[in-house]
Each structure stands twice: as structure tokens, then as C-alpha cells.
Chain A
Amino acid sequence: MNFSFTDEQLMLKDSVEGFLTENADSGIVRQAMASESGVDENLWQKICAEMYWQAILVPEECGGLGLGLVEAVIVLEQMGRFLTPVPLAAGIQSALALRTLADQLQAHTLLAGLAEGRLLGLAHTAARPSWGASGVGVIANSTVNGWSLSGEARFIATGDLATELLVVAKIGSDLGLFRLAADQTGVALSKMPTMDQTRPMGVLQLHDVTVDPESCLSLDWAEQLEAVLDYSRIALGAEQVGCAQASLDQSVAYVSERVQFGRTIASYQAIKHKAADMMLKVESARSLLYYAACVGDEALTDAASSEDLQEAAAMLASSAGDAAFFCAGTGIQLHGGVGITEEYDIQLYFKRARSMEAYLGRPDEQREVLAAMLLDQGGSHAA
């Protein structure tokens, strides 16, 4: 048992921190927010060329680094901390989706593309009425030439920049996975304007899109979708921990400067105890993050069950979602008046925390998943 990073993992963490400190300050974030795509495309090119983080979860035989979720969360935690405006999380999500199709030549090709920095968006849901299978809004009908796809998917993590898409579509009561090019006839991918501008989201409209049989990657992908969503919750949890940490750090820095009644407000217990509660939530979420990443890596090699993966992801999503929102919200309060200005970054973290909290299921929905495991007939953890 050893719940600490290896030397290689510590080096990775240092290199991410160093690179982002130098290349992705708040000015870069704000510039990207104001841009059309919401992404800093130069920074993304630089990361793909020099740092190779886009290839972390791509197997070595596809030209990737062949690393695991532990490494992915190390990078993503820092991305959440710096609000780095690049679509790394989207690439990681797509890599995880493709890894469910282990033996396919097409998956191999697409993974190799991801390692080269191509943007492949997973279009899995309309999120109406909820995330997961029930939210899938694209329907696939079989035709003489293959398939015809129609419907809508929202919250695509590549924004409108994807050149290719992995589309989840209903086939009767099951789910299929299809590969489409973004410039195909009947395909419209655009950016959804969102309250949080640090994390652009795409919306996909499909009108009778013709798909050849070879581009259907799976006809029964429902179980895999659940696993990919759980992996994605782990990746998201890393960004949430980073967001919570940055909210804490920036708040402590601010209250250590701000003087009232003749001393820094950081010396008042009313302020210190809020900061201590923030740290408690950050560190607790971080512990669950590392645990969940380990379980995720085991699940990728079938050494952990899908129930264990689901439980770990739900615990993390609940804890990290709450931690990020609590820390950013409390952060605004500790900043006082300037906390609600556009000038200070704490408001960016607050908006980001809120968008991440809702993405893939709110913390209370994740707790309900756990409650069902513990309390309902047939629940996997029922005592």
C-alpha cells in the first residue's frame, strides 16, 4: 500500500505546473474567453507539440504515451487550477471512449489521430431529461446504404473545434456509436454560449446524416457509455480539485493583503476558519480523486468491476463538485466587494465550478446513485 506519487508522477506534476505558470496566466484565459472559439489554439498546438499531454491515455502502439488515469488527473488538476483554455479534457474523454473498442482498426486510427492533436469530440447526450443513456438525443435508423442519423447532442467538450465526432445514437432500446466528420452533409456543430466562458461547449445538430456501415463503431454501446461517463467524472473531478485549490489559494493571498481594523483580515478567526473549511474540502476531494483514478486504471484493465468504478466516480463527483463550488463561493465572500467584480479571477472560478458541478450529474444526483447501491433491493453495496 502506498498512496503517494512515484518520482515520474511527481516530475510530471512539476512540469505541468511549470509550463502552465509560464504559458497560461489569467491574461491568456481572458483572451481566449473573448475569442470566437473560446480556446487558445496556439497554446493547444504548443502543448501537443512540446508536452504531449493529449497522448497520455493513448496506448503506445497508437503512438501515445500509454499512461493511465493517475497521470491524466495530475495534468487535469493543474488545468483546472489555471483554467487553461485548451480542449485537453475533451481529448481524454474521446481516448477513453475509443479504448472501449480495443481491437478495432478504426479505433486504432482515431487514437493515433488524438495523439497527433486532432480534435475528436464525443457527442453523447442532449442532457434532456438527464445525462447518461436517457439523455441521448440522436436516433440512428438503418437504411439500405447503412445508417441515417438525426437529432441533437449538447455539451460537447471540444466546443465547435472538432473535426470529427463520435456520436452516441439510439438504435431501438440500445445505443450505437458512430463516427462522423464535422463537415459532412447534414452535420452542424456550433458553440453554445454559456455562463462559464472558460470551458467552451459545442452543440451538434444532425439532419438525416448518411453514415456508411463501416463508420458504425458499435451497435451495443450502452454499458460502455456508462463506463466512459464514470471515467469522465474522474477526469472532471481533477479539474474540480484544481479549481477548488486555486479558489483557496487566491482567497488566502487576498485576505493576507487586505488590512481592516489595523491588521490583515487573515488574522481574524472568522476568516481563518472559513479558509480551513475550504482546505478540508479540497484535501478530502483530492484523496477521493487519487483513489478514483487508481480504481479507474484498474477498471481500464478489467481489474476493477463496473460497480467499483461507478461507486468511486459517484463519491468523487459528489465530493469534488461540492468542494469546487464551496471554495469558489466562499472565495467570493472572503474577497469582499472586489469578489463580485469582473477584474478579479475568483468570479471565473465560481462560474467554472458551477458549470462543472452540473456537468455529468449534480452532486446530489451522484449521492442518489450511492444511496441506491446502499439502500435498495439488489443494491450492490446493500448490507
Chain B
Amino acid sequence: MQLKFTEADEQFRGEVSDWLIDNLAGDFSSIRHRGGPGDEHVFVQERKAWEGRLAEGGWTCIGWPEAWGGKSATIEQQVIFNEEYARAGGPGRVGHIGETLTGPTLLAFGSEAQKQRYLPGIRAGKELWCQGYSEPGAGSDLSAVRTRAVLDESGQSWRITGQKVWTSLAHESDFVFVLARTDLAEKGHKGLGFFLVPMNQPGVTIRPITQLTGTAEFNEVFFDDALCSSNDIVGEPGQGWKIAMGLLGFERGVSTLGQQMLFQTELDEVVRIARHNGTGQNPAIRQRIAEAHIGLRTLRYNSLRMLSGGDDGSLSREAMIYKLCWSSWHRNLGKLAMDVLGPDAEIMDDGPYSLTRLQSLFLFTRADTIYGGTNQIQRNIIAERALGMPREPRGES
């Protein structure tokens, strides 16, 4: 058990932090602390330019192998990068889907041609990706996807038809990876394929979804005979589910400590307000603030345990509880912020519907316990995979 990072790791931390201080300046000052969850719709052009700057500095895709432009960074180094990035106020990464999901998936399952074609664009911060998993009828039950892919008569292209939903940054992305049914006679996780599809084509239509915050960072994406080259199916038809699940396993949690730094700034703001407006002397509020403090530190040590776990790729017990832990904590913080602000929590900065940071926190954290697997699905996963309890019998799909 060792709480501290090694000297070499601390030296790496210094390099990251120096570079960020030098570069997250000038024109990029305006995007510091912006573009995170709940705020992803802002400063998109500036954040795209920032991806380019990061890439020039060699700070995109640091966990990738050196052969593909990465640094083969260790888990510790990736954790440190994410911590320093958050500490420096680094903006929400528009390239994160490509870097953390598409890239590792292609490295594991992609053809040589697919790697050659797509990895350099992601590494350079020039080609952005979004994800096409959920559908109106396939949320918690992802295997119910109905979007279909049909190989045309020439055998050159797949034709994709259907609807995806909850796609963030769809209108800014160059490509989407799509889980679609290749064998219409199959149901559930059989007969699926995993496709790499260009967004900029007539067969793709994007419609933003306005949220309770008044902003729109998620979209619906409609595919109407959208084209995908026959070279751009990852793996074989029928292997889509395996690849889709593999993709979700690549998130080893290296970004969690960075996320926690953002949480800490939010909690600090709530504590500061409580100290100044007198609610910090209310015994019930004091209990809740202490609980929030404990909860955030718990997230940190849960993460450290998760990151220190074996490299066998299996999901550890700590990893299985992590989503449920952070989403519940963050949602409670949103409510605590409102209660600490009291009556003033209602008042907006200016019209027509421009939320303050804490109002946005309060409203948008209701999504945290839903996306990426609802709290109920998380509890099923914990009960079934960690505790070995049986699956509930399923209905006909």
C-alpha cells in the first residue's frame, strides 16, 4: 500500500502541468473550466482548436502505443495527466470519444487498414467521433437495437437505416460508430455488427434534444440508407456485441481522478457559500456537507483501488460500484447546493434561461444517474456479476 506517486511520476506531473500552464493561455484562456458535462455545447470551435494544440504538444492519446503516436503511458501517468488537466482548468475534450473509445477498440479489433485510416486523425485531434449505441427502443436493454445494416448488391457498401439517440456532439463529429443488426432474423446480442460511419453524408440527419437545462448537448441521429464502406465494419458481421462490450471495458477509470477534481471545485464552492451565508451553522446542513466531503474522498480511494487492481481486464468489485457511487454523490451535491443557497437558488443570472453553474449542476446531475447505465441497471450488474445473484427471467423481445 503506497499512497504517494513515485518520483518519476511526480516529474511527469511537473511536465504536464508546465505545458498546460504555458499553453492554456492567450486565446485559450476563455475556455478554461468550460465544456464539461452539462456544458458540452459551448466553445466548440475553440475546443476543436485546442485539440490541435494538445496534439502538437504530444498530449492526445498518451495511453496509446508509441507506434500509433501515443506515449505508451502507464496507468499512473494517465491518471496524473487527467488530474493535472482538470487542475489547470482544461476544457471538456471534444476528442475524448475517439481517444478513449474508438481508438482502443480499433487497436484491439480493427483491421490494419482501419487503424491506418482512423488512428492518425484521432491522434492529431482533427477527426472527431461520436457514438451510436442507444436507440429509442434500446436504452438499458442495448441488445434490442433495431437499426439495420444491409450489404448492397455490389458488396462494396453497407446501407444503414434506423435511429440513434443521446449522441453528444453529433453535429460536430466526423464519424460515428454504430451498433446495427446485420442479420434481421436474429434477436438480442446475436446478428449485430459494429460500423464506422461518416457523419457528413446525405443519409445522416441530426436533431438536437433540448434538455431541462434549456441547452442541447445530446442529439437524435437518423440514418436513412446511410453509406458505410464494406471495409469499415470492425470484425465480422455477428461480432458487433462482443466489440461493443469490449469498447465499454477499455475505460479503465484513468479519467476518474480528473473528474473528481471538478467535483472538488463544485463542493468547495458549496462549502464557501455555506460559510458565508450562515447555513454552515445549521446542524442538518453540517451533516450533509460532511457527508459530501466523505463521499468525494471515498470516490478517490475507490478509484485508487480500481486503478491498482490487476491487469486481467476483468471488472473488479470497485469498478462495478464506481458509476453508482459517483452519480449518486454528484446528484446529492446538486441538491445540497440548492439547499445551501436557500431562496436565492431560484434566481437566475440573466434571461431568458441562463442558469448559474450551481443551478445547472442541480438540474443536469439528474442525468448522471441515468446515462451510461441507470442506477437500477448498475445495481443489477453489481448483484449479478459481483454477488453472483441470478438474473431475473426476461420477457420476449
Contact = CB atoms under 8 A, between A and B. Distances in A.
A277 interface: yes
Contacts of B388: 252, 256
Contacts of B290: 318, 367-368, 370-371, 374
A10 to B, nearest CB: 11
A290 B305 CA distance: 9
**Centre residue among A2, A9, A276, A370 by max chain B CB count within 10 A:** A276
**Centre residue among A1, A291, A293 by max chain B CB count within 10 A:** A1
Nearest to A255: B389
Given A3-B305, A284-B302, A315-B297, A375 B382 contact: no
Using C-beta atoms within 8 Å of the partner chain, give the interface range for chain A: 35 or more
A252 B390 CA distance: 11
B308 A273 contact: no
A273 B374 CA distance: 12
A248 B287 CA distance: 26
Contacts of B383: 272-273, 275-276
Contacts of A9: 1
A290 B298 CA distance: 11
A9 B272 CA distance: 41
Contacts of A6: 1
Given A367-B291, A368-B287, A371-B290, A284 B390 contact: no
B287 A2 contact: no
Interface in B283-334: 283, 286-287, 289-291, 293-294, 297-298, 301-302, 304-305, 307-309, 317-318, 321, 324-325
Contact of A266 (B2, B302, B321, B389): B389
Nearest to A285: B298
Contact of A272 (B268, B275, B318, B379): B379
B113 interface: no
Nearest to A249: B387
Nearest to A368: B286
A264 B391 CA distance: 11
B219 to A, nearest CB: 31
Chain A interface mostly? helix
Contact of A3 (B1, B384, B392): B1
Nearest to B269: A383
B61 interface: no
B20 interface: no
A370 B392 CA distance: 42
A1 B304 contact: yes
A169 interface: no
A323 to B, nearest CB: 11
A116 interface: no
Given A272-B383, A276-B378, A288-B297, A267 B389 contact: yes
A383 B318 CA distance: 30
B94 interface: no
Contacts of B302: 283-284, 287
B393 interface: yes
Contacts of A371: 280, 286-287, 289-290
Contacts of B305: 3-4, 287, 290
A27 to B, nearest CB: 26
Given A1-B304, A288-B298, A370-B293, A294 B3 contact: yes
Contacts of A271: 389
Interface residues of B, number: 53
A280 interface: yes
A269 B380 contact: yes
Nearest to B280: A375
A280 B321 CA distance: 6
Contacts of B1: 2-6, 9, 70, 290, 293-294
B3 A1 contact: yes
Given A252-B389, A367-B287, A375-B274, A3 B379 contact: no
Contacts of A267: 389-393
Contacts of B280: 371, 375-376
A11 interface: no
A288 B301 contact: yes
Interface string B273-285: 0110000110100
A283 B301 contact: no
B275 A276 contact: no
Contact of A4 (B274, B309, B324): B309
Interface string A66-82: 00001000000000000
A277 B376 CA distance: 11
Interface string A237-274: 00000000000100010011000000110111101110
Contacts of B393: 263, 267
Contacts of B180: none
Contact of B390 (A266, A283, A364, A376): A266
A219 to B, nearest CB: 35
A382 interface: yes
Nearest to A278: B387
A279 interface: yes
B296 to A, nearest CB: 10
Contacts of A264: 390
A319 interface: yes
- Shortest 3 CB-CB contacts between residues of A and residues of B: A272-B383, A367-B290, A287-B301
Given A2-B2, A275-B382, 19 more contacts: A3-B3, A70-B1, A263-B390, A266-B390, A269-B392, A272-B379, A272-B383, A276-B382, A276-B387, A277-B379, A279-B387, A280-B382, A283-B318, A315-B298, A318-B294, A367-B287, A367-B290, A375-B281, A382-B275
7 contacts: A1-B79, A9-B1, A272-B383, A275-B387, A279-B382, A291-B301, A375-B274
Interface of A: 1-6, 9, 70, 248, 252, 255-256, 263-264, 266-269, 271-273, 275-277, 279-280, 283-284, 287-288, 290-291, 293-295, 298, 315, 318-319, 364, 367-368, 370-371, 374-376, 381-383
